Amino acid sequence: MRRRALLSASALSVAGLAGLSGCLGDVRQRVSGDIHANHATAAMHSAEAPWLRGGLSADADRTFHAELFTEAPPDDAELFTADYPRKPRTFDNDVRNDDYSTGFSLLAEAKMPREEAYTILPGGYGEEGWEGWNSVSLPLGRRPYEDGAGLPDDLRDADELVCTMLARYEADAAPSRATVTVYGKEGDAVVREATAKPRFRS
């Protein structure tokens, strides 16, 4: 009897915490306002030439990676590998020079076989929003390359590809956690999901 009562109490506690999280999300939404995706950039590259340090590569078993940037990285922080193409307008430049007083950025990567190549970008299914006081939900859409059409010529012989995406969100407060979900073409299936946290936080 005592064990049954304890189990019931535990179940109520879990349900209570879930309900509390939702309530905190509603309160945060009212206090800090909505979250909006402002713009995003995505690029395809071979998994044999990884771009992000600690991200996806041909040797990694993971197929999805996501992290938040809520403040500028230290000047001496090496975010990208030697394979990353450094140009005037790059992910590295955007991450370092963003105005974090008005929002935050999400850097996400998805790995797939070349025959199943797709790009990930914000929007399509679901809306960005607060899940709790410091946590947000950031849905992404999957946009396939039909029969490889549109893929750069230098990637047509690659076995695996990685889509690296940087999205900028406008928000009055910075989250410490994000549930990042990639939905299928019709929005009825979850293709990838990960929890993103800030790489740097002072």
pLDDT in tens, 9-52: 444 343 444 454 446 444 444 444 579 999 999 999 999 999 99
The whole-number pLDDT of residue 30 equals 41
- Give the span between the Cα atoms of 42 and 40, in whole angstroms: 7
The proportion of the chain whose per-residue pLDDT surpasses 90, expressed as a percent, equals 57
- CA neighbor of 140 nearest in space, from 170, 181, 108, 197: 181
The whole-number pLDDT of residue 34 equals 77
- Give the span between the Cα atoms of 141 and 118, in whole angstroms: 10
CB 163 within 8 A of CB 118: yes
**Domain residue ranges in the chain:** 2-196
C-alpha distances (whole Å) from 198 to each of 7, 29, 150 are 35, 20, 33
Q: Which residues contact 79 (CB under 8 A, 6 or more apart)?
A: 52, 53, 73, 92, 95, 199
The whole-number pLDDT of residue 113 equals 94
The whole-number pLDDT of residue 191 equals 78
Cβ atoms within 10 Å, residue 182? 24
- Give the span between the Cα atoms of 80 and 26, in whole angstroms: 37
Q: Where is 202: in which H helix or E strand?
A: none
Q: Which residues contact 174 (CB under 8 A, 6 or more apart)?
A: 70, 71, 100, 104, 198
> What is the pLDDT of the chain when averaged over all its residues?
82
The whole-number pLDDT of residue 149 equals 76
Q: Which residues of the chain are modeled with pLDDT < 50? A: 1-18, 20-22, 24-32
Cα separation of the two ends of the chain = 49
Q: Which residues pair with 185 in a beta bridge?
A: none
Tokens of 27: 């309160």
